[in-house]
Amino acid sequence: MKEIFSKRMKYVQPSAIRELLAMGAREDIISFGGGYPAPELFPVEAMKVVFEDVMDRVGTKALQYSLTEGIPELREKIAARMAKSGVPCESDDVIVVQGGQQGLDLIAKLYINPGDVIITEQPTFLGALIAFNPYEPQYKSIPMDEEGMRMDALEEALKETPNVKLIYTVPDFHNPTGITMSLERRKALIALANQYGVVVIEDTPYREIRYEGTPIPPIKHFDTEGRVIYLGSFSKILAPGMRLGWVSAEQTILQKIGLLKLAADTQSSTLNMYLAEGYMRLYDLDAHIEDIRTLYKKKKDLMVSIIQSEFPASVKYTNPEGGLFLWMTFPEEIRAEAFLKDHLIPKAKVAYVVGDGFYPLSPEYNHCRINYSGASEEQIIKGMTAFGHLLKEQMKYGV
Amino acid sequence: MKEIFSKRMKYVQPSAIRELLAMGAREDIISFGGGYPAPELFPVEAMKVVFEDVMDRVGTKALQYSLTEGIPELREKIAARMAKSGVPCESDDVIVVQGGQQGLDLIAKLYINPGDVIITEQPTFLGALIAFNPYEPQYKSIPMDEEGMRMDALEEALKETPNVKLIYTVPDFHNPTGITMSLERRKALIALANQYGVVVIEDTPYREIRYEGTPIPPIKHFDTEGRVIYLGSFSKILAPGMRLGWVSAEQTILQKIGLLKLAADTQSSTLNMYLAEGYMRLYDLDAHIEDIRTLYKKKKDLMVSIIQSEFPASVKYTNPEGGLFLWMTFPEEIRAEAFLKDHLIPKAKVAYVVGDGFYPLSPEYNHCRINYSGASEEQIIKGMTAFGHLLKEQMKYGV
């Protein structure tokens, strides 16, 4: 059969990271690779009660088609949460999407012509690159420090690049680094976006999983020109298997996202929207999030304490105030992919995600992303200890 | 704010049909406009049992991330149904998508460069045009007769058009006309697709809702070169609010659809996949479909009998052997949109979908699509009688 796929498919390729993740998914391996929330906190029993309630109250409605933008009851509850976090919001300012990932796809579809530039952090969320790539963008990536994306480098990039359409950022407990953008940087980011007339995607699925430090207002809180598209998600605060996220933006943008959502999949699952809404009505989502915070802090502290005691001192790592990930930096001579494949998986039966895939440009090869939410405390102790010892051994003998 | 949306947004516009549908959604209006399955048959009580069972067996798995292609248990059951309907199929030959609509989006994303041609029936499913448009295709549309798409016209179009990528067809109980493609036409379609090297999208959400006549094998049954992409759906046989459909195609195509699915929304809802699988395990889906067939036949027969007794003889209509819709053709001087807006909605409080939106090219203005699954029998009697009387009156006095 002749090659008749579209040109965009050149940019849609299997990801090496996903293949390595599949290796790490073997039963006998302790994986810190995925981005899985802690399953032990999923509200299984509560969801039974919620389901019964939804079926009894609105059973046929919940199984029928509903609206592209989402059911009004859920949009209202999302808007109230947005408002509470510092973004004035009505239910009409929210569209429910099939997880944050769909938001990324629809936003790229809305803005990107082939060759348009998207600015990202360096490194950045791999899933965003996967969502953006089919629209054939160019990337500029901006180095980070402990306060997040560096504004001097961002300004430089905006100045020298004429066709920037979007700045993509994960400001809270960044994936993959765990870093949070400081208050000053958020204000500076908005000022630069205004000055250069670009749109900001604020992708913040981990925002509510803060277990230390003081919350910083969303970037959208400082948005006076309707330039920030906010992406939220129920995946980390309720359950990723329901595939529910939301987009909040000013009306011109949101209406177009609604048209693209209609084209892409008609609507999100009516049933799951009613279940999420029902959970928030019958149970206390904030109390549930508090339980998540407590558990993740415990797991993160445990992991950091093992890194401190069992890993070579030359290994650097971030110590996040929230979210699901920390970012580890090996001495430069250690390549994270080779160490994973040749040593960590076969000898210690432990896996992480190799860092270079998170770079849209100029990858660095001595990083890895480590997830602490998905594993049990026992697995963290066993897996991280073995990881640290193996690394020490390798560094002694050279890799 | 400067206009920075992508070029494709020129082809993504609010649809007039949707605005008219919204008019018809008023509480005081009997609408035959939507494509809603009969809510009275949704298995509300059964789903409670299924939910309880899923939570007890695999609660945390069902709320967690799973696989882009879908959970193996569901893919297996879908493959078995495909095989039973005449398409040899293993679970690896199936990807679960967010309703058939997402299948249409992903297929267009996979094949269409701006200006590539998609051949459709004339008229064709509006949702398909909505899915395809963002990829900036050109259309060729092929007239239909009582056996479906006319093969002489299709051959002509293939001969004279160099850049045809896809032929899109709804072969069973076509939306909007209710017509089913004959066996001979299916074979001829495959022969032409092979000869001209194009891919066929067989979109068949209504296939199992046949209540009269003899089933005809899917087009994919005759596919010897892996040219047919089959789209199935649970929306009409179980519940549209779960947003579950599937794509079946040969491996090269399916793997690329998997990559695009990952980019678009990571995966479909794990929870809904387990619920659909659980329903099929604990209940008899075929018996449920038999109930749907019985009810829809009753509703369709009732509707046709009222058309025969109460409508002007010059009105033509299709009499489908299955599915959800019939297609009505007024005498040419009656424009379906004007009659709906100026007479039917205000005077009879009845609504249909105006036909011209279903034409990608050269619209005809004297058709409407009428849905008989969503309304109750009482509504069908009341609404269609009023519709017929009003039409008679208008035709007597001129419109």
Pairing relationship of beta strands A94-97 and A245-248 according to DSSP bridges? antiparallel
Distances from the Cα of B52 to the Cα of A44, A306, A335, B205, B278, angstroms? 10, 40, 47, 28, 10
Q: What is the DSSP letter of A147?
A: T
3-class SS of residue A391: helix
| Confidence band for A39, pLDDT divided at 50, 70 and 90 | very high
Q: What does the pLDDT read at residue B16? A: 72
Contact of B363 with chain A, judged by CB distance below 8 Å, is answered with no
Search chain B and give the residue with CA nearest A236: B64
Between CA A288 and CA A255 the distance in angstroms is 32
Between CA A267 and CA A96 the distance in angstroms is 8
Q: What is the DSSP letter of B146?
A: T
Q: Is residue A22 pLDDT above 90, yes or no?
A: no
Between CA A78 and CA A97 the distance in angstroms is 12
- List, in order, residues 6 or more apart from B313 with CB less than 8 Å away: none
Domains of chain B, CATH where assigned: 7-43+287-397 (3.90.1150.10), 44-282 (3.40.640.10)
B256, A131: Cβ pair inside 8 Å?
Answer: no
Q: What does the pLDDT read at residue A298? A: 98
| Confidence band for A324, pLDDT divided at 50, 70 and 90 | very high
* pLDDT, tens only, B192-235: 999 999 999 999 999 999 999 999 999 999 999 999 999 999 99
Tokens of A247: 């987009």
The answer to whether the CB of B4 falls within 8 A of the CB of A111 is yes
Among B99, B194, B7, smallest CA distance to A136 is for: B7
The string of DSSP codes covering B164-178 is EEEEEE--SS-TTT-
Q: Of the candidates A12, A66, A256, which has its C-beta nearest B5's C-beta?
A: A256
Between CA A96 and CA A90 the distance in angstroms is 13
- List, in order, residues 6 or more apart from B122 with CB less than 8 Å away: B141, B142, B143, B144, B359, B360, B361, B362
A12, B256: Cβ pair inside 8 Å?
Answer: yes
Between CA A28 and CA A392 the distance in angstroms is 23
Pairing relationship of beta strands B325-329 and B228-233 according to DSSP bridges? unpaired
Planar angle of CA B352, B354, B355, nearest 5 degrees: 125
* pLDDT, tens only, B111-156: 999 999 999 999 999 999 999 999 999 999 999 999 999 999 999 9
- Quick one: what percent of chain A has pLDDT higher than 90? 93
Contact of B41 with chain A, judged by CB distance below 8 Å, is answered with no
Among B369, B82, B70, B121, smallest CA distance to B231 is for: B82
Q: Is the dihedral of CA A329, A335, A341, A347 positive or negative?
A: negative
- List, in order, residues 6 or more apart from A75 with CB less than 8 Å away: A69, A91, A92, A94, A95, A96, A246
Contact of B27 with chain A, judged by CB distance below 8 Å, is answered with no
For range B282-310, the mean pLDDT: 98
3-class SS of residue B161: coil
Tokens of B338: 């004007």
Search chain A and give the residue with CA nearest B227: A1
The answer to whether the CB of B246 falls within 8 A of the CB of B229 is no
ipTM over 0.90: yes
* pLDDT, tens only, B74-114: 999 999 999 999 999 999 999 999 999 999 999 999 999 99
Note the pTM of the prediction, 2 decimals.
Answer: 0.97
Which of A2-16, A347-361, B171-185 is predicted with the least confidence, judged by mean pLDDT?
Answer: A2-16
Pairing relationship of beta strands A325-329 and A316-317 according to DSSP bridges? antiparallel
CA distance A58 to chain B (A): 10
Helix (H) / strand (E) containing A196: helix A183-196
Length of chain B: 399
Contact of A60 with chain B, judged by CB distance below 8 Å, is answered with yes
Residues 247-306 on B with a CB inside 8 Å of A are 252, 256, 259-260, 262-272, 275
| Confidence band for B24, pLDDT divided at 50, 70 and 90 | low
Residue type, A130: I
Q: What does the pLDDT read at residue A26? A: 80
- Chain B residues with CB inside 8 Å of A46's CB? none
- Chain A residues with CB inside 8 Å of B59's CB? 42, 44, 47
| Confidence band for A27, pLDDT divided at 50, 70 and 90 | confident
Among A89, A20, A97, A34, smallest CA distance to A228 is for: A89
Question: Residue A30 pairs with which residues in a beta bridge?
Answer: A350
Tokens of A39: 């399953």
* pLDDT, tens only, A336-382: 999 999 999 999 999 999 999 999 999 999 999 999 999 999 999 99
Between CA B160 and CA B138 the distance in angstroms is 14
Between CA B315 and CA A12 the distance in angstroms is 51
Search chain B and give the residue with CA nearest A115: B6
- List, in order, residues 6 or more apart from B84 with CB less than 8 Å away: none
Burial A187-224 (b: 16+ CB within 10 A, else e): ebbbebbbebebbbbbbbbbbbbbbeeeebebbbbbbe
B113, A6: Cβ pair inside 8 Å?
Answer: yes
Search chain A and give the residue with CA nearest B166: A4
Q: What does the pLDDT read at residue A71? A: 96
Q: Which residue has the tokens 């058709």?
A: B367
The answer to whether the CB of A107 falls within 8 A of the CB of B2 is no
Planar angle of CA A174, A176, A181, nearest 5 degrees: 20
Q: Is residue B23 pLDDT above 90, yes or no?
A: no
B288 CA to centre of own chain = 20
> Residue B14, preceding bond cis, omega within 30 degrees?
no
* pLDDT, tens only, B253-272: 999 999 999 999 999 999 99
Between CA A93 and CA B395 the distance in angstroms is 46
**What is the SS3 string spanning B47-75?**
HHHHHHHHHHHHHHHHHCCCCCCCCHHHH
CA distance B96 to chain A (A): 13
* pLDDT, tens only, B40-80: 999 999 999 999 999 999 999 999 999 999 999 999 999 99
CA distance A374 to chain B (A): 10
| Confidence band for A396, pLDDT divided at 50, 70 and 90 | confident
The answer to whether the CB of B186 falls within 8 A of the CB of B219 is yes
Mean pLDDT of chain A, nearest integer: 95
Helix (H) / strand (E) containing B232: strand B228-233
Among B300, B370, B327, smallest CA distance to B177 is for: B327
Mean pLDDT of chain B, nearest integer: 95
Q: Of the candidates A66, A101, A262, which has its C-beta nearest B266's C-beta?
A: A101
Query: Rg of chain A's alpha carbons, rounded to an integer?
Result: 21
- Chain A residues with CB inside 8 Å of B240's CB? 63-65, 270
Tokens of A193: 């976006």
3-class SS of residue B329: strand
Query: Among A65, A117, A195, A324, which would you mutate to test the B interface (most chain B Cβ atoms within 10 Å of its Cβ)?
Result: A65
A188 φ/ψ angles, rounded to the nearest 5 degrees: -65, -35
- Chain A residues with CB inside 8 Å of B272's CB? 269, 271-272
Planar angle of CA A305, A308, A311, nearest 5 degrees: 120
A64, B105: Cβ pair inside 8 Å?
Answer: no
Between CA B185 and CA B219 the distance in angstroms is 9
Question: Residue A122 pairs with which residues in a beta bridge?
Answer: A143
Residue type, B245: G
Q: What does the pLDDT read at residue A1? A: 45
- List, in order, residues 6 or more apart from B129 with CB less than 8 Å away: B120, B139, B360
- Chain B residues with CB inside 8 Å of A59's CB? 42, 44, 47
Q: Is residue A256 pLDDT above 80, yes or no?
A: yes
Q: Is residue B163 pLDDT above 50, yes or no?
A: yes
A199, B4: Cβ pair inside 8 Å?
Answer: yes
- Chain A residues with CB inside 8 Å of B135's CB? 6
Q: Which residue has the tokens 């039963």?
A: A27
Contact of B58 with chain A, judged by CB distance below 8 Å, is answered with no
Between CA A211 and CA B121 the distance in angstroms is 57
Q: Of the candidates A36, A65, A101, which has its C-beta nearest B241's C-beta?
A: A65
3-class SS of residue A235: coil
- Chain B residues with CB inside 8 Å of A198's CB? 4
Distances from the Cα of A356 to the Cα of A87, A362, A365, A366, A376, angstroms? 34, 9, 5, 8, 26
The answer to whether the CB of A93 falls within 8 A of the CB of A79 is yes
- Quick one: what percent of chain B has pLDDT higher than 70? 97
Between CA B192 and CA B185 the distance in angstroms is 10
CA distance B269 to chain A (A): 5
- Chain B residues with CB inside 8 Å of A276's CB? none
